[in-house]
Amino acid sequence: MSDNNKSIHEFDFSLICEYFSSMERQGPGSPEMTMKALGFVDNLNAGSRIADLGCGTGGQTMTLAQNTPGIITGIDLFPVFIDLFNENAGRLNVEDRVKGIVGSMDDLPFAEEELDLIWSEGAIYNIGFEKGLKYWHRFLKPGGFVAVSEASWFTAERPEEINTFWLDAYAEIDTIPNKVAVLQNSGYVPVACFILPENCWTDHFYVHQVKAQEVFLAKHRGNRAAEDLVENERREARLYDKYGEYYGYVFYIGKKI
Ligand code: SAH
């Protein structure tokens, strides 16, 4: 029984990898917003150590690499994403200072106070915003920065349908002031926060999925797990279209004290 479960789980896992591998980004974001967040981080130089946690295939990491000096380590749980990440670094000729490795963001291979900057776009939710911020804190030098994007409510109250969806998907979603308080209570000075504009969800994320979904469904015709995966993504996009004024991703930038 447990063997059956394991193989089903692994099958879903490889489908998820395949689905998202074809996209430049695996979550909402854009090069412009990566640059905007980077604008709040100072004191980086060629010796700076940077980690991008939950880096995926490295869409945002390559933007960082092209606009910062320093040595960047991308970490992701999925080996397929890390292979693509390292190919991307090679294509941009930054492989001497940008490397992707397989690992988990809750078990980091760094020394205490080794890092100048921890980056994480649309990924900290995997271990939770508060747990991630508190655990990662020890790896930053004093004065080092954390920059993460995280699902957040824009309003104190919202319609039942979207409230229920998010509490099921990620119960730690919260309002911006509450998230800033968590950042502060985790040992960082809140330096900035800003809402990712709508095009980070539409043009940079959901629009790319429409074509990818057709190709994916054609390849996996009749496969229930593949159909469910696509239906899930389409439902998310419909909900964003309907309720996008109530929630979104917010970039939070903090400085370790
Ligand atoms: N930062 C990328 C990817 C976001 S999607 C972007 O913005 O495009 C979230 C990523 O987190 C996925 O690539 C997923 O494989 C990764 N992930 C999930 N759990 C993880 C963990 N425990 N440690 C590291 N990465 C993880």
If pLDDT is split at 50, 70 and 90, which confidence band does 204 have? Answer: confident
Q: Which position has the higher pLDDT, 8 or 76?
A: 76
State pTM to two decimals. 0.94
If pLDDT is split at 50, 70 and 90, which confidence band does 10 have? Answer: low
Q: For a pocket test of ligand 1, which of 34, 62, 78, 125 has the largest count of ligand atoms closer than 8 A to its C-beta? A: 78
Q: What percent of the chain has pLDDT over 70?
A: 96
If pLDDT is split at 50, 70 and 90, which confidence band does 100 have? Answer: very high
Query: What integer pLDDT is reported at residue 72 of this predicted model?
Result: 98
Single-letter amino acid, residue 151? A
75 lines ligand 1 (CB under 6 A): yes
Rounded CA separation 156/86 (Å): 42
Rounded CA separation 116/111 (Å): 12
Beta bridge partners of 110: none
Q: Distances in Å between the alpha carbon of 15 and those of 77, 219, 226?
A: 15, 11, 7
- Tell me the per-residue pLDDT of 179-196, one tens digit each, with 9 for 90 and over: 999 999 999 999 999 999
Which of the given ranges, 7-16, 131-140, 203-212, has the highest pLDDT on average?
A: 131-140
Both structure tokens of 207: 């629009």
Q: What is the whole-number distance in angstroms between the Cα of residue 195 and the centre of ligand 1?
A: 20
Look at residue 5 and tell me whether its pLDDT is greater than 60: no
Query: What integer pLDDT is reported at residue 187 of this predicted model?
Result: 98
If pLDDT is split at 50, 70 and 90, which confidence band does 28 have? Answer: very high
52 lines ligand 1 (CB under 6 A): no
Rounded CA separation 207/148 (Å): 23
Query: What integer pLDDT is reported at residue 104 of this predicted model?
Result: 98
Q: Strand 140-153 vs strand 115-120: parallel, antiparallel, or unpaired?
A: parallel
Rounded CA separation 145/135 (Å): 14
Q: How would you classify residue 135: left for phi > 0, otherwise alpha for psi between -120 and 50, otherwise beta? A: alpha
CB atoms within 10 A of CB 197: 17
Look at residue 8 and tell me whether its pLDDT is greater than 50: no
Contact criterion met (CB below 8 Å) for 29 and 60: yes
Quote the Cα angle for 79-82-87, to 5°.
Answer: 130
What mean pLDDT value characterizes the chain? 93
Q: What is the whole-number distance in angstroms between the Cα of residue 248 and the centre of ligand 1?
A: 18
147 lines ligand 1 (CB under 6 A): no
Burial class (CB in 10 A: 0-12, 13-18, 19+), 122: buried
Both structure tokens of 62: 């390559």
CA end-to-end span of the chain: 50
Query: What integer pLDDT is reported at residue 2 of this predicted model?
Result: 39
- Tell me the per-residue pLDDT of 151-178, one tens digit each, with 9 for 90 and over: 999 999 999 999 999 999 999 999 999 9
Helix axis angle for 2-21 and 224-243, nearest 10°, is 50
Give CATH superfamily name and number for 24-197+245-256: Vaccinia Virus protein VP39 (3.40.50.150)
If pLDDT is split at 50, 70 and 90, which confidence band does 71 have? Answer: very high
- Tell me the per-residue pLDDT of 50-59, one tens digit each, with 9 for 90 and over: 999 999 999 9
Q: What is the whole-number distance in angstroms between the Cα of residue 76 and the centre of ligand 1?
A: 6
150 lines ligand 1 (CB under 6 A): no
Q: Strand 188-195 vs strand 174-175: parallel, antiparallel, or unpaired?
A: unpaired
144 lines ligand 1 (CB under 6 A): no
Cβ neighbours for 23, distance < 8 A, ≥ 6 positions apart: 57, 205, 208, 209, 212
126 lines ligand 1 (CB under 6 A): yes
- Tell me the per-residue pLDDT of 110-129, one tens digit each, with 9 for 90 and over: 999 999 999 999 999 999 99
Both structure tokens of 83: 């292979």
If pLDDT is split at 50, 70 and 90, which confidence band does 6 have? Answer: very low
Q: Which of 22-26, 39-43, 235-239 has the lowest mean pLDDT?
A: 22-26
Q: Of all protein residues, whose CA lies closest to atom 20 belonging to ligand 1? A: 77
